Amino acid sequence: DSGVTQTPKHLITATGQRVTLRCSPRSGDLSVYWYQQSLDQGLQFLIQYYNGEERAKGNILERFSAQQFPDLHSELNLSSLELGDSALYFCASSFRDRDTNEQFFGPGTRLTVL
Partner 1 sequence: AQSVAQPEDQVNVAEGNPLTVKCTYSVSGNPYLFWYVQYPNRGLQFLLKYITGDNLVKGSYGFEAEFNKSQTSFHLKKPSALVSDSALYFCAVVSYYGNNRLAFGKGNQVVVIP
The binder of partner 1 chosen from 4, 21, 76, 81 (CB under 8 A): 4
Q: Which strands sit side by side in the sheet containing 19-24, from one edge to the other? A: 5-7, 19-24, 74-78, 64-68
Q: Does 60 bind partner 1 (CB under 8 A)?
A: no
Q: Does 42 bind partner 1 (CB under 8 A)?
A: yes
Cis? peptide before 70, omega within 30° of 0: no
**Is the CA virtual torsion 61, 63, 89, 97 positive or negative?**
positive
Residue 48 beta carbon to partner 1: minimum distance, rounded to whole angstroms: 8
CA 64 to chain centre: 10
Q: Does 96 bind partner 1 (CB under 8 A)?
A: no
The region of 12-20, 37-45, 63-71, 74-82 touching partner 1 under the rule CB under 8 A is 37-45
The region of 12-20, 24-32, 76-84, 102-110 touching partner 1 under the rule CB under 8 A is 102-110
Q: Does 107 bind partner 1 (CB under 8 A)?
A: yes
Q: Does 25 bind partner 1 (CB under 8 A)?
A: no
